[in-house]
A and B are shown apart, each in its own frame.
Chain A
Amino acid sequence: MNELTFLPDRTALEAVGLRARHRRREALRACTFRVPAGRVCALVGPNGAGKSTLLALAAGLRRSSGGRLRVLGGAPGDPAVRPRVAYVAQDKPLYPHFTIAETLRMGAALNPGRWDQAVAERLVRQGDLSPHARVGSLSGGQRTCVALALAFGKRPELLLLDEPMSDLDPLVRHGMMAALMAEAAERATTVVIASHILSELEGVCDYLLLIADGRVRLAGEVEDLISVHRLVVGRYEDVGTPREFAAHTIVEARTTGRQLTALIRPEGPISGTWEITEPSLEELLLGHLRAPGAPALLAPSAEPRMPASRWAA
């Protein structure tokens, strides 16, 4: 039903040199990346890295202070783009005096011609909620459920979720994530989930955007990013990093006792007697989060494809 997402070359989100200020602090500095359409993308980074800022920019809730950002091929907040993007903020703003039914009615009223009442009601039912319950009387998890129903009801092509599961208990979180992914898969919706619960992302996300200190550190398909990294473990008693690693890019190296653990991007065969494995997504993320100075890596699919003439802006 949504032609855009079935074309692998289409772009959901694209930024070149994107900057944003948040209370006089640079929240984003020169962010450059691309998220292809149809992906479920994890947006990861430490607190204050600029994840929320990036999502708010894409949702058309604030202005950037420089660079370019394109959402579904248009400017964020453009009248042609706004109806196709859904956003669930971290604090899940909802009107507390409205009942759930009224909240969904608001969704229908504000999305003329787009709203899918059945999808929204299905999500509400999955959360085991009465439509006549007041939003103000709901628990954190139930509010999340209503916020997600509101987001899905507008049948978005791009769904932006800011820490959607942070206030849910593990059981509810698991069920909600499954429901979310089922809905997204059915419509091939592009999803960007900001989170720092690394475990909830594994097995769900196939794309990764790692931001630290307002810059993109890693961007690309999860599989590709994992496959170009190696976790190297071995006995090592000298100071500094082993000479054998000099040919490779070392993301992070730690020594505990006599054991060295290093996350590297090999440029060829790794010499020496090391135990070499592919890192898990969590290991990959932790390694990069611990080493903010490691060089950034953008997979080819994560390189922006905006027309060159527009890069200057």
Chain B
Amino acid sequence: MRAAADPGASSSGESPGASSPGVRTGTGGDGGSGTAGLVWLTLRRHRATAWAALGVLVALLVTLGFLQAAITGYVRSHSLDTACAEESGCGFSNDAVNTFRADFGDPLHYVGLFVELLPLLAGLFVAGPMIGREMESGTYRLAWTQSVSPGRWLAVRMAVPAVAVLAGLSLLSAAYTWTWRAVPARTLPEEWWSRSYDMLGAVPVAHALLALAVGALMGLALKRTLAAMGGTLVTYLALAGGLESLRPRLTGPVTELSPEMPGLIKGDAWILERGLIARSGGRVPEPDCKVGVSPERCAEQHDATGWYLDYHPSSHLWTLQWTEAAIALALAALAAGAAMWLIRRTYP
């Protein structure tokens, strides 16, 4: 997340006694508006967090690099990629597969879980320490009564973490996706694309920007560290839940029709719904037949002609990803716009 590089203060010397009158800062083409100074202030204020985030990012990237190399090596030396490509899949009896699951399942799972959590952490940080605490302790007045307008102050408070998230999380998500791709799909059903969805590609980055904008809005509206963090938690989880429930409908699923009842496992496809097609042409999703009733009897009971199965094949992954990312970004823009509107309306 906040993977910004040098927060400035450490390199630029702490020797006030020696500095001459009229230190020139922030003259780098920002037209005297103090934007460069605000960026410096934001990074200096959260220097510890910025360094910690950078450390965590590097550690995760290194871990993912090693994991990718190890996975690739193991898959090649044990021919897992060919063994698992067969329709029967990798059986549990296969020792090589079991060792693979034991060795790589957990590390991949936990790194992925962390990537999935980062957006929320970024949002909470902006809501609490970055904005809520300033409003609560009154230190926001420090910047505003120097030569910085509230609107610019908020814009920089949102832009600095946004850039850090964009850079850091993009890198992390790309590295995770790269490592995840090295895993033959059938070896780790837990890591199928539909289950790793929140950790892959553009979605974690877009979710982080959404959480961040929601955090800024909450910090500004609630003006208290804890309240802002609580508000962000609830609002972001609600929005993320909304996006998740929307996810199956982001692109049209593939529908398969069959006279026999289809199974609910179909390679690594994401099965959405199974049901009967009635003689009238209508659908009967997940028909309710009593226990012990055979599929054929069940179809007869509902006067159905056959079965259907809706699913997203793994080829839908990137369409779904980019569509969801676009929606999340639009929501983020909305929240950021609301925050800007709020600060411009409340303060001169």
Contacts and interface: CB of A to CB of B under 8 A. Distances in A.
Interface stretch (A102-110, A200-208, A213-221): A102-110
A36 to B, nearest CB: 23
B25 A102 contact: no
Interface in A118-173: 118-119, 121, 131-132, 150, 154
A115 B23 contact: yes
Nearest to B16: A101
A215 B168 CA distance: 55
B319 to A, nearest CB: 45
DSSP class of B's interface residues: helix, strand, loop or mixed?
loop
Interface in A81-123: 82-83, 85-87, 89, 91, 93-95, 98-102, 104-119, 121
Contacts, number: 136
Nearest to B153: A110
With most chain A CB atoms within 10 A of its CB, the pick from B23, B26, B32, B45 is B23
Contacts of A63: 346-348
Contacts of B217: none
Given A76-B348, A82-B147, A115-B22, A110 B138 contact: no
Interface string B175-218: 00000000000000000000000000000000000000000000
B72 interface: no
B41 to A, nearest CB: 6
Contact of B19 (A93, A99, A112, A117): A117
Nearest to B20: A117
B148 interface: yes
B14 A101 contact: yes
Nearest to A131: B16
B34 A109 contact: yes
B146 A112 contact: no
Nearest to B14: A101
A52 to B, nearest CB: 12
On chain A, which size bracket covers the interface? 35 or more
A61 B40 CA distance: 22
A107 B37 CA distance: 9
A110 B148 contact: yes
Given A99-B14, A108-B25, A112-B37, A62 B347 contact: yes
A282 B15 CA distance: 46
B135 to A, nearest CB: 11
A83 B31 CA distance: 13
Contacts of B44: 98, 102, 106
B348 A109 contact: no
B149 interface: yes
A79 B149 contact: yes
Nearest to A104: B16
Nearest to A64: B348
B306 to A, nearest CB: 67
A67 interface: no
B211 to A, nearest CB: 25
B32 A110 contact: no
With most chain A CB atoms within 10 A of its CB, the pick from B20, B27, B139 is B139
B16 A121 contact: yes
B40 A87 contact: no
On chain B, which size bracket covers the interface? 35 or more
A109 B36 contact: yes
A77 B141 CA distance: 12
Given A106-B146, A112-B32, A94 B139 contact: yes
Interface in B1-50: 9, 14-17, 19-27, 30, 32-34, 36-38, 40-41, 44-45
Nearest to B27: A112
B25 A154 contact: no
B138 A117 contact: no
A45 B1 CA distance: 50
A7 B147 CA distance: 25
Interface string B291-306: 0000000000000000
A154 B16 contact: no
A93 B137 contact: yes
B147 A83 contact: yes
A111 B147 contact: yes
A129 to B, nearest CB: 11
A107 B38 CA distance: 10
A105 B16 contact: yes
A222 to B, nearest CB: 27
A43 interface: no
A182 to B, nearest CB: 18
A113 B141 contact: no
B114 interface: no
29 contacts: A59-B144, A59-B145, A60-B149, A61-B141, A61-B348, A62-B347, A62-B348, A76-B348, A77-B149, A78-B348, A82-B148, A82-B149, A87-B145, A89-B138, A89-B145, A93-B139, A95-B139, A98-B44, A102-B14, A108-B26, A109-B25, A111-B37, A112-B26, A112-B32, A112-B37, A112-B147, A113-B27, A116-B21, A118-B20
Interface of B: 9, 14-17, 19-27, 30, 32-34, 36-38, 40-41, 44-45, 137-150, 346-348
Which 4 A-B pairs give the minimum distances between C-beta atoms? Answer: A109-B37, A77-B348, A110-B146, A101-B16
Given A105-B23, A113-B32, 7 more contacts: A78-B348, A82-B148, A102-B44, A106-B40, A112-B27, A115-B25, A118-B22
Interface of A: 59-63, 75-79, 82-83, 85-87, 89, 91, 93-95, 98-102, 104-119, 121, 131-132, 150, 154
